[in-house]
């Protein structure tokens, strides 16, 4: 047996966990009701976690907290007696989440977090003072004495958005920074210095201070817990990098400091208003999953219906969103849907929808365990904030769209599989994200397949790597432009058709219509700009195979909006196949809103494919090309028996036709044993 086997088998097991708010266990009456609700649905309850406070305000006097933890111990025992084998406590506040209920909660008796603008948090603490650390140690020791099997540390472990936007600029933190930087700064001086283009070292040191503040706080939590009982497992809930990388997102260091074996990657998806956001959150969770150390085998998605009102979210949404998160490599769900004890009617329909999905989820997790996601990898880095460039007049502590790591998700929305695991089948470089990679990393990307926008081209040109793209920007147009697809064979049947993104309608149209000029004779032109009188303005999409053998496609026209046309979808499918040299794992012929997530072994003999109908029409038929080896597949559907389906062999893999996908429903295709 190898050392890795236990972790792998744990990763293959689905865990369904329930987060239980304080009001549900504070009184015997409420606790009796929630116990009845969950024990009556034992088949979907593997684990429970008790929240230990109701507000997101950090400070609770320790005598109050001690009495609460004595009661928590009794509640955990009651769950154990009812047959739940894994019971724990979810510590909602370690730093504090945001300013809440501060006018009647006891004020913080230690330094509050201070923002870059001098604002002082009313509910959240600076994580670096000795007084705060002593409180945290005492608090977690009390939690550990309640004999939980595990303790979750919630996602207030960050240095941003604590009622103050960017922390912490208190005297303690400024003194720490003076030591690291070798110069003492006042808060005002430091914030000003951050905006100096040449102050890269200061910015990197500041993010490092954020990382190490969290790291040392988590080490204190771990040591306080382990001093009471070293067998208590710990877990860390994280905030995703798409929100910001200001806190440094050093999961390797943070999980190690906490000695954590459980993770809950975070993100926000709360209602049915924009259902595709469930896909965005799933990708964001996938990015965080990839960054976890190997010891973390229990990775739970948080199904969050906050603030828990029934009509905000459909039961089908719950099933789809949890499924997509599992697709991106998580292997459990922490249901956060119990609101206030008087509102169990809000909860029951959601809870009752879950048993039908469990068999599909279990098969997915078991089959896909250990397989990376496959498809195009939208490049990002946890060092984005630390390493980004600051140009004259820019404010480091703002987040322009050029640093939004989520924009390539639009490719996923039109059906191209997106990988969370690098390097995937090709890289997507958007905006100015390339700034946070060194030349060696960028050259490695450019020696494979790359799809990029013209803002990324600008960054590469400045870095002296533009020749590997085959083009440079000749002119930047910002109004009245469309693109027309050329007769290049990558455009297939879309040759000659127009795509109009009406670029001025959506705010700043700069960087929306860049004319690209070839730097080499063999650059292929995929599209040309035209004005509204059909007058050609020059190339705006190009394809080039560079001297390193890399295949690079540059998009100069409205790269991250309105890619949903039939012609653009076809062009981008062909482009993805071309840059990846036919390695994109899945392609669907029909222009239907099928979102696909693929997990694939290196030898392509084992695959798990999830396809979600992200539209409101029935998809009657979808021809799915699978670039895998295999003669047959298992097709799964929620609430139906698995079907064995023969695969039709074809060049590069095989083919399967899926039929009758209801709106917002999903299918799973499993290939291999």
Site residues (CB under 5 A) for Zn ion? 126, 168, 170, 172-173
Best CA proximity match to 622, nearest among 585, 662, 650: 662
Residue whose CB is less far from Zn ion, 397 or 526? 397
Find the helix packing angle between 315-327 and 344-353, rounded to 10°.
50
Residue whose CB is less far from Zn ion, 137 or 312? 137
- Distance, in Å, from the CA atom of 278 to the CA atom of 318, rounded to the nearest integer, reads 9
Shortest distance in whole angstroms from residue 521 CB to Zn ion? 58
Cα separation values, 42 from 57, 82, 147, 297, 380, Å: 33, 9, 22, 23, 40
Residue whose CB is less far from Zn ion, 175 or 295? 175
The answer to whether 379 and 201 are in contact (CB under 8 A) is no
Residue nearest to Zn ion (CB): 126
- Distance, in Å, from the CA atom of 203 to the CA atom of 193, rounded to the nearest integer, reads 9
The alpha helices in 422-510, defined as continuous H runs, are 439-446, 454-462
Cα separation values, 451 from 154, 264, 448, 498, 580, Å: 37, 31, 10, 20, 10
Residue whose CB is less far from Zn ion, 244 or 320? 244
Residue whose CB is less far from Zn ion, 179 or 659? 179
Shortest distance in whole angstroms from residue 647 CB to Zn ion? 59
Q: Hey, how many other C-beta atoms are within 10 angstroms of the C-beta on 562?
A: 16
**Number of alpha carbons in the 13 Å side-chain half-sphere of residue 143:** 33
Best CA proximity match to 338, nearest among 38, 15, 26: 38
Residue whose CB is less far from Zn ion, 166 or 485? 166
Q: Hey, how many other C-beta atoms are within 10 angstroms of the C-beta on 461?
A: 17
Shortest distance in whole angstroms from residue 128 CB to Zn ion? 5
Residue whose CB is less far from Zn ion, 156 or 435? 156
- Distance, in Å, from the CA atom of 426 to the CA atom of 656, rounded to the nearest integer, reads 24
The two structure tokens encoding residue 305:
């219906």
Place of tokens 């504070």: 26
Shortest distance in whole angstroms from residue 523 CB to Zn ion? 52
Shortest distance in whole angstroms from residue 172 CB to Zn ion? 5
- Distance, in Å, from the CA atom of 230 to the CA atom of 233, rounded to the nearest integer, reads 8
- Distance, in Å, from the CA atom of 218 to the CA atom of 237, rounded to the nearest integer, reads 12
The two structure tokens encoding residue 463:
């870095």
Q: Who's near 629: CB < 8 A, 6+ residues apart?
A: 603, 604, 605, 653, 654
What b/e sequence results for 483-509 when a residue is b if at least 16 CB atoms lie within 10 Å of its CB, and e otherwise? bbbbebebbeebbebebebebeeeeeb
Residue whose CB is less far from Zn ion, 115 or 240? 115
Residue whose CB is less far from Zn ion, 170 or 543? 170
3-class SS at 344? helix
Shortest distance in whole angstroms from residue 179 CB to Zn ion? 14
Shortest distance in whole angstroms from residue 114 CB to Zn ion? 6
Residue whose CB is less far from Zn ion, 137 or 463? 137
Residue whose CB is less far from Zn ion, 126 or 525? 126
Shortest distance in whole angstroms from residue 108 CB to Zn ion? 12
Shortest distance in whole angstroms from residue 177 CB to Zn ion? 10
Shortest distance in whole angstroms from residue 101 CB to Zn ion? 22
Shortest distance in whole angstroms from residue 636 CB to Zn ion? 50
- Our CA angle for 358, 40, 357, nearest 5°, is 10
Shortest distance in whole angstroms from residue 157 CB to Zn ion? 14
Residue whose CB is less far from Zn ion, 170 or 285? 170
């Amino acid at each position: 047996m190898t050392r890795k086997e236990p972790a792998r088998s744990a990763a293959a097991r689905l865990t369904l966990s329930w987060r239980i708010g304080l009001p549900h266990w504070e009184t015997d009456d409420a606790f009796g009701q929630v116990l009845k609700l969950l024990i009556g649905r034992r088949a979907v309850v593997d684990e429970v976690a008790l929240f230990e406070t109701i507000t997101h305000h950090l400070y609770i006097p320790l005598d109050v907290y001690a009495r609460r933890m004595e009661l928590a111990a009794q509640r955990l025992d009651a769950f154990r007696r009812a047959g739940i084998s894994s019971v724990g406590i979810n510590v909602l506040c370690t730093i504090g989440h945001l300013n809440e209920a501060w006018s009647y909660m006891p004020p913080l008796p230690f330094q509050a977090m201070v923002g870059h603008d001098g604002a002082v948090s009313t509910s959240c603490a600076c994580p670096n003072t000795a007084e705060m650390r002593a409180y945290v140690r005492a608090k977690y020791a009390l939690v550990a004495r309640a004999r939980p099997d595990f303790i979750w540390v919630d996602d207030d472990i960050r240095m941003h958005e604590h009622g103050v936007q960017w922390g912490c600029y208190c005297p303690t933190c400024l003194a720490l920074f003076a030591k690291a930087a070798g110069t003492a700064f006042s808060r005002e001086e430091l914030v000003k210095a951050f905006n100096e283009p040449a102050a890269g070292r200061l910015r990197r040191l500041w993010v490092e201070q954020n990382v190490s503040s969290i790291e040392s706080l988590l080490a204190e939590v771990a040591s306080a817990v382990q001093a009471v009982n070293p067998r208590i497992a710990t877990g860390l809930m994280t905030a995703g990098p798409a929100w910001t990388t200001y806190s440094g997102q050093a999961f390797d260091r943070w999980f190690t400091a906490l000695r954590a074996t459980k993770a809950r990657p975070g993100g926000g998806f709360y209602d049915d208003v924009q259902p595709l956001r469930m896909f965005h959150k799933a990708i964001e969770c996938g990015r965080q999953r990839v960054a976890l150390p190997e010891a973390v085998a229990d990775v739970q998605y948080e199904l969050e219906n906050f603030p828990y009102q029934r009509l905000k979210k459909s039961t089908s949404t719950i099933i789809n969103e949890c499924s997509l998160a599992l697709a991106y490599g998580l292997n459990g769900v922490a249901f956060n849907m119990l609101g206030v004890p008087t509102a169990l009617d809000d909860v029951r329909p959601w809870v009752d929808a879950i048993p039908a999905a469990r068999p599909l989820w279990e098969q997915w997790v078991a089959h896909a365990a250990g397989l990376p996601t496959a498809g195009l990898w939208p490049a990002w880095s946890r060092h984005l904030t630390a390493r980004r460039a600051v140009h004259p007049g820019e404010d480091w502590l703002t987040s322009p769209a050029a640093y939004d790591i989520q924009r390539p998700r639009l490719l996923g929305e039109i059906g191209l599989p997106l990988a969370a695991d690098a390097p995937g089948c090709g890289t997507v470089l958007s905006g100015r994200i390339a700034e946070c990679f060194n030349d060696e990393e960028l050259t490695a990307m450019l020696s494979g397949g790359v799809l990029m926008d013209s803002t990324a081209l600008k960054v590469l040109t400045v870095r002296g790597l533009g020749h590997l793209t085959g083009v440079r920007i000749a002119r930047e147009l910002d109004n009245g432009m469309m693109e027309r697809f050329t007769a290049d064979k990558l455009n297939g049947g879309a040759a000659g058709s127009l795509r109009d993104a009406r670029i001025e309608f959506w705010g700043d149209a700069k960087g929306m219509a860049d004319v690209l000029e070839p730097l080499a004779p063999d650059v292929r032109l995929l599209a040309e700009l035209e004005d509204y009188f059909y007058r050609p303005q020059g190339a705006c999409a190009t394809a080039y195979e560079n001297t390193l053998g890399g295949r690079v496609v540059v998009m100069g026209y409205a790269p991250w909006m309105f890619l949903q046309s039939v012609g653009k979808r076809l062009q981008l499918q062909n482009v993805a196949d071309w840059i990846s040299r036919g390695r994109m794992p899945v392609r669907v012929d029909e222009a239907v809103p099928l979102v696909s997530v693929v997990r694939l072994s290196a030898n392509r003999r084992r695959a798990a494919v999830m396809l979600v109908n992200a539209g409101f029409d029935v998809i009657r038929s979808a021809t799915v090309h699978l670039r895998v080896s295999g003669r047959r597949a298992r097709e799964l559907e929620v609430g139906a028996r698995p079907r064995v389906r023969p695969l039709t062999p074809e060049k590069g893999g095989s083919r399967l036709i899926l039929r009758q996908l209801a709106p917002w429903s999903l299918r799973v295709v499993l290939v291999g044993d």
